[in-house]
A and B are shown apart, each in its own frame.
Chain A
Amino acid sequence: MRDEGRKVDALIVGTGPAAAACAKRLTDAGYETVALERKELPRRKPCSGILSPRGHRFLIENFGPLPKEILHSPSSACGVKFHFPSMRTVSMEFDGGPTPHLNRKFADHWAMKQSGAEIHDRTEFIGLEDKGTHVEVSTRKEERIVRYRARFVIGADGPGLAVARAVYPDYAARLPWFVVGQKFHRIIDCPLDDKYFHFWFHPELGHYTWSHARDGRQIVGVGFLKGGNFDNRHKRVVEYLERKHHVRLGPAEEPEAVTANFGPSLINRYIFGRGNVLITGQAAGFFNMIAEGMSCALHSGAIAGEAAVEAFRSSKDAQRTYRGMIASEVRRCSDQWNPLQIAFGRPHEADFRGAMKKLTPGERLGILREMFSFIRLYSPLNWGRQILWQSLRRLLTGRYPATRWL
């Protein structure tokens, strides 16, 4: 039976990639670390599972070679294909080579166990109180209230934002929320190349539309602003794929949907916590452009862990250290959405500009027009001006202003 009021050095809320990376840094440095998970582990996690090459490297360098049990089939993706309403396709291979197709249910649990931290699953975070010298945390486990007392709390609980809500009660209400849902289909006939992740820049299909193969089935996913109807949206995509790409699929099975906070990384509105509470990963707003949140979750989680270790060692202010260290990850993530970086830099781990160069000037112009038309889908969110302003600041100063972070 676990002690109530358990004293630990660091308490991590969440057991995803950010949590595992953070735990790894803390346990390596010899700090007693407990990670909380609301569900029973291993737990299911709706996700494409396609990790970027940078994330792949991080996993290997920190947790060792990937065991086959944590991979779906096909076990890797070699790149991304962008599809446009004109039926043009831009095909790009990942810079770092094929990347793993992770089975999040087992991959997350594996990384978490590899980190060496103590894992308390079926333990739901309820609330916290930062006492200055430590943080008191309340959780619920099997209808009992279990308390912890930690020097630092790290919120790595993804878009659930339980820790963020405890620190910033009105934050979640200020965000535009998206629903990202996917359904699995038996494949009757699918001409889409199963080595690639497929993404549609099509304003009529949704804010985020994708498809890829997994374990002998085809995933069809769609993202849209909260309030829309998942089934209708999904059906529209399936019909589109059949009509335009001759994809014939069996009935939809196992629908799964999550809410997602795309916005912060586009407009540099990250949240990193307050006092002794650090927020990291997707909970902080990290999300790559190709909707791959795992690599920036791993890296930002590690940085949160480093900041906590540094604060333990030097009595430096953890928030200040964290915000200083996280700037590089903010640059990396927000650059992916920055139109100036996309136009003149190389922010992605796939060569979009190189792929575009293979096209005729007319085709390039057409694709840019279609991308612009797609981006207009986001105009009700009033992000355009903010993105441009942040892009200019990045160009002039080399960084995104930290003053916009919560």
Chain B
Amino acid sequence: MTTANISSTDILDHVAPDSLKGIPRRQTNPARWNGGSWGAFTDALRSQNIEICEKKQTCRVYAVDSGGLASGLPHGVALARSAEQISAILKQAQLHRVPVTVKGGGLTTEGESVAFGGLQLDMRAMNRVLSVDAKNMTVRAQAGIYWHTLGEVLRRDGLDYLSAPLNMTSSVGGTLSVGGIDINSPRLGCSADQAVSLQVVTPTGEIKECSESENPELFERVLLGYGQFGVITEASMRIRKFTPLTMHYFYYGSLREAMEDLQLLVRGDAADYCGILTVLDKAVNLLVAFDSDERERAFFSGWRGRLRGHGQLGFALRMTWHYALRPWRIGEALYLLGRKRALEPAFKPEHHLEKNKIVDRTVVFSNSVWKFWGGKRMVIPDLATSAEKFVEAIERGNAVCRKYFPRYTLYCVGIKLSGRRERYELSCIPPDAEGFAYGCEFEPILGGEDYSREYLQAFKNEIYDIGVEMKTSYYRFGGMMKGYIRRVFGDELVEKHLAMKRAADPAMILNPDVIF
């Protein structure tokens, strides 16, 4: 090759990643690891009786995450059995520089739990509840357990977790690593904030217990740490008494009014659970739920009158009038009606109701939400903002959804913050949020359409660009492109965390390409 025609580095800057207007670009679709030292790595592990499966059929099971867009293939898969086994794996991985990608429920959507070569560590075999302490109201569980399983075990003793993500096939370890948001997050914070202590295998293979009093730095790094600073193998979390709950829906034609009312309820601690689910931006549903009759009564006496939402009948009349004046939008009206007919029974299933109270919220929230909003491919970019920026950010995101897709939904919740924590740095919690943060997922209903990854990526980029422009964060339930991290959080903060990562993981083998 010739370089004679390149006159100066100044000229080259015009096509450097930073030259692109808007968002500086980075290689976000990583190259597959070349497998150079794989043989030596597996030999070393097998000599320690650690089983690695290299069958193509098995590896193909791990080709995608829930997003279904990024396809990868590990060289081999190990089922996590114990902290000691994971420790041995990570020690050899450091030695042979083999990337290790950890997977729990695999609920990532940007390929974060997909291995582009190297070892896939499947945590789901570590799925036991180790102890329940009803006196101190804590539970100790292995990190590969699904929330659904954890909930079932706790319920035998009349207990419940505090806050869990909407999809109950998320693993506890994965959720604590990214946040975990639910409609009880306005009261109880994100799932990561309910952790009391953790057992962690560091990237260099040390097994450490950490909490606010023991190895607090590691504790703060691992929670909301996107798997960069260790593999969570066990977690102790706060729990509470199980209560059936009563749910109410209020319907809005205006997204802005619904969001303002959501903020009103969150600020005033008016409901035990609240959130917004929309059908397009036409039928906006503010849902509130209560653990006790007292709280429900207090809501109806003190708060209901201040909400601008309608009951079902009132809203139906308004919508009928709206579409009667716009007969050319009959298709949209029929879609809304069809959606209502499908959703309503699913959200109030008789077999999970007792005296009009929902007795199994995991089934209702998890199954129903994912049945109607999930799909083989899922694209869920999101924005997490301070209270002040919430409405504008979501309205702008809604406009992007409208531009790209005929059918979509928004899911918005408040997130109670647990003071100023180190774990919130470089996380879903926007640095300017005080007391509460607010998040919104923008989820197109893809249906049977085959959208190209490039098209879906363009959609995600436009949502993320809003966050960059408005200096918000992303609660990254839907993941976030690596390319945005620096732009959103700034070089100084990213360099700080990168230095910590390099110190903790010298060969940079644990969950590569997720953030750094």
A65 adjacent to B27 (CB under 8 Å): yes
Question: How far is it, in angstroms, between the C-alpha of A306 and the C-alpha of B68 when the chains are bound?
Answer: 11
Check if A266 is an interface residue, CB within 8 A of chain B. Answer: no
How close is B95's CB to chain A, nearest CB, in angstroms?
24
Chain B residue with minimal CB distance to A69? B1
Given A53-B20, A313-B64, A328-B451: A62 and B15 interface contact (C-beta under 8 Å): no
Q: In this assembly, does A75 line the interface, its C-beta being within 8 Å of a C-beta of chain B?
A: yes
Please classify how large the interface on chain A is, using the bins under 10, 10 to 19, 20 to 34, 35 or more. 35 or more
B273 on interface, CB distance cutoff 8 Å: no
A77 to chain B: closest residue by CB: B14
Does A100 make an interface contact (CB < 8 A)?
A: yes
Q: A62-B29, A215-B5 given as contacts; is B12 within 8 A of A29 (CB)?
A: no
Tell me the B232-275 residues at the A interface (CB within 8 Å).
none
Query: CB distance A328 to B116 under 8 Å?
Result: no
The listed residue (B11, B73, B450) touching A29 by CB distance below 8 A is: B73
Cα distance A31–B60 when bound, in Å?
10
Tell me which residues across on chain B come within 8 A of A53, comparing CB atoms: 20-21
Residue B213 at the A interface, CB < 8 A? Answer: no
Q: B13-28: which residues lie under 8 A (CB-CB) from chain A? A: 14-17, 19-22, 25-28
User: Given A30-B72, A53-B20, A71-B6, A114 and B454 touching (CB < 8 A)?
Assistant: no
Complex CA distance for A107 and B136, rounded to whole angstroms: 63
Q: Is A106 an interface residue (CB 8 A)?
A: yes
Selected from A73, A76, A320, A328, the residue in CB contact (under 8 A) with B455 is A328
What is the bound-complex CA distance between A309 and B32, given in angstroms? 15
Q: Give the residue among A27, A97, A313, A328 with the most B Cβ atoms within 10 A.
A: A328
Q: A27 CB to closest chain B CB, in angstroms?
A: 6
**Cα distance, A321 to B376, chains bound together (Å):** 14
List chain A residues, Cβ under 8 A from B20.
53, 56-57, 60, 96-97
Q: Which of A29, A42, A76, A101 contacts B19 (CB 8 A)?
A: A76
Contact A329:B63 (CB < 8 A) given known A62-B27, A68-B3: no
Contacts of B22 in A (CB 8 A): 96
- Smallest CB separation, B106 vs chain A (Å): 14
Whether A306 lies near B1 (C-beta < 8 A) is no
Interface bits A314-337 vs B (CB < 8 Å: 1, else 0) = 000000110111101100000000
Q: Bound complex: CA of A218 vs CA of B6, how far in Å?
A: 16
- B449 adjacent to chain A (CB < 8 Å): yes
Complex Cα spacing A323 to B452, Å: 10
Q: Which residues, 106 to 154 on A, are CB-close (under 8 Å) to B?
A: 106, 114, 116
The contact of A56 among B3, B15, B28, B70, by CB within 8 Å, is B15
Contact B27 A68, beta carbon cutoff 8 Å: no
Chain B residues lying within 8 Å of A69, measured Cβ to Cβ, are 1-3, 6
B61-83 at interface with A (beta carbon < 8 Å): 63-64, 70-73
CB pair B32–A326 under 8 Å, yes or no, is: no
Q: From DSSP, what is the main secondary structure of chain A's interface residues? A: helix
Would A76 and B5 count as touching, CB distance under 8 A? no
Q: How far is the CA of A56 from the CA of B455 in the complex (A)?
A: 16
Question: Min CB distance, A391 to chain B, in Å?
Answer: 20
Chain B residues with CB under 8 Å of A29's CB are: 63, 71-73
Task: Check A24 for interface membership: any CB of B closer than 8 A.
Answer: yes
Q: Contact check, B454 vs A303: say whether CB atoms are below 8 A apart.
A: yes
User: B34: which A residues are within 8 A, CB to CB?
Assistant: 116
Encode B318-352 as 1/0 by CB contact (under 8 A) with A.
00000000000000000000000000000000000
Q: Which one of A60, A71, A96, A101 lies within 8 Å of B27 (CB-CB)?
A: A60
List residues of chain A with CB within 8 A of the CB of B31: 28, 64, 114, 116
A106 to B6, CA, bound (A): 14
Q: Mark A61-86, 1 if CB is under 8 A from B, else 0.
A: 11111101101111110100000000
Is A99 at the interface (CB under 8 A from chain B)?
Answer: yes
Query: Chain B 451-476, CB within 8 Å of chain A: the 1/0 string?
Result: 11111000000000000000000000
Counting CB contacts under 8 A, is A366 at the interface?
no
Which of B6, B12, B450 is within 8 Å of A324, CB to CB?
Answer: B450
Residue of B nearest to A53 (CB): B20
Interface string of A280-314 (1 = CB under 8 A from B): 00000000000000000001001100100110010
Task: Let me know if A216 is at the binding interface, CB within 8 A.
Answer: yes
Contacts of A30 in B (CB 8 A): 32, 59-60, 63, 71-73, 117
Residues of A within 8 A of B2 (CB): 69
Q: Tell which of B3, B59, B451 touches A325, judged by Cβ atoms closer than 8 Å.
A: B451
Residues of A within 8 A of B19 (CB): 76, 97-98
A-B contact count (CB 8 A): 138
Q: Tell me if B301 is interfacial: C-beta within 8 Å of chain A.
A: no
A21 and chain B: residue at smallest CB distance: B454
B452 touches A328 (CB 8 A): yes
Q: Does B431 contact A (CB under 8 A)?
A: no
Alpha-carbon distance A302/B21, docked complex (angstroms): 23
Q: Which residue of A lies closest to B73 (CB)?
A: A30
Please indicate the chain B residues that have their CB under 8 angstroms from the CB of A60 in the complex. Answer: 17, 20, 25-27
Interface string of B420-453 (1 = CB under 8 A from A): 0000000000000000000000000000011111
How far does the Cβ of B472 sit from chain A's closest Cβ, in whole Å? 22
B7 near A: Cβ within 8 Å?
yes
B454/A61 in contact, CB under 8 A: no
Chain B residue nearest to A325 (CB atoms) is: B452
Interfacial chain B residues near A101, Cβ < 8 Å: 15
Contact pattern, A 20-48, Cβ under 8 Å of B = 1, otherwise 0? 00001101111100000000001000000
Q: Are A73 and B5 CB-contacts (below 8 A) given A25-B71, A30-B59?
A: yes
Specify which chain B residues have a CB less than 8 angstroms from the CB of A313 in the assembled complex.
Answer: 60, 63-64, 71
CB of A187, distance to nearest CB on chain B (Å):
14
Other-chain residue from B14, B16, B25 in contact with A61 (beta carbon distance below 8 A): B25
Contact (Cβ within 8 A) B14 A76: yes
B428 to chain A, nearest CB (A): 23
Asked if A256 CB lies within 8 Å of chain B CBs, one says no
Contacts of A299 in B (CB 8 A): 452, 454
Contact, CB under 8 Å: A61 / B29: yes
Instruction: Decide if A95 is an interface residue (CB 8 Å cutoff).
Output: yes
Q: How far is the CA of A375 from the CA of B278 in the complex (A)?
A: 47
State the CA gap A30–B32 with chains docked (Å). 8
Taking the closest CB of chain B, its distance from the CB of A69, in whole angstroms, is 4
Q: How far is the CB of A206 from chain B (nearest CB, A)?
A: 28
Given contacts A71-B12, A116-B32, A326-B452, contact A95 B27 (CB under 8 A): no
* B483 in contact (CB, < 8 A): yes
Cα A326 to Cα B451 in complex, Å, equals: 8
Expressed in whole angstroms, the Cα–Cα distance for A56 and B19 within the complex equals 10
Q: By the criterion CB–CB under 8 Å, are B28 and A61 in contact?
A: yes
Point out the residue from A56, A320, A328 that lies within 8 Å of B454, measured CB to CB: A328
Please give, as numbers and ranges, the residues of chain B lying within 8 Å of A62 by CB-CB distance.
27-29
User: For residue A214, which residue of chain B has the nearest CB?
Assistant: B5
A310 to B377, CA, bound (A): 11
Partner of B14, one of A42, A75, A320: A75
**Contact A65 B71, CB 8 Å, known A73-B7, A326-B452:** no
Q: Mark A215-230, 1 if CB is under 8 A from B, else 0.
A: 1100000000000000
Complex: A328 Cα to B451 Cα, angstroms: 7
Residues of A within 8 A of B15 (CB): 56, 66, 71, 75-76, 98-101
A309 to B483, CA, bound (A): 24
Given the contacts A30-B72, A30-B73, A97-B21, A73 and B11 also touching, CB distance less than 8 Å:
yes
B59 touches A96 (CB 8 A): no
Minimum CB–CB distance for B53 against chain A, Å: 15
29 A-B Cβ contacts within 8 A?
A28-B30, A28-B70, A28-B72, A30-B60, A53-B21, A56-B15, A61-B29, A64-B27, A68-B12, A69-B1, A71-B6, A71-B12, A73-B6, A74-B11, A76-B15, A97-B20, A98-B14, A99-B15, A101-B15, A106-B1, A114-B31, A116-B32, A215-B5, A309-B71, A324-B450, A325-B452, A328-B452, A328-B454, A329-B452
In the A-B complex, the 3 residue pairs with the smallest Cβ-Cβ separation, listed nearest first, are: A30-B73, A324-B450, A29-B71
Chain A residues with a Cβ under 8 A of chain B: 24-25, 27-31, 42, 53, 56-58, 60-66, 68-69, 71-76, 78, 95-101, 106, 114, 116, 215-216, 299, 302-303, 306, 309-310, 313, 320-321, 323-326, 328-329
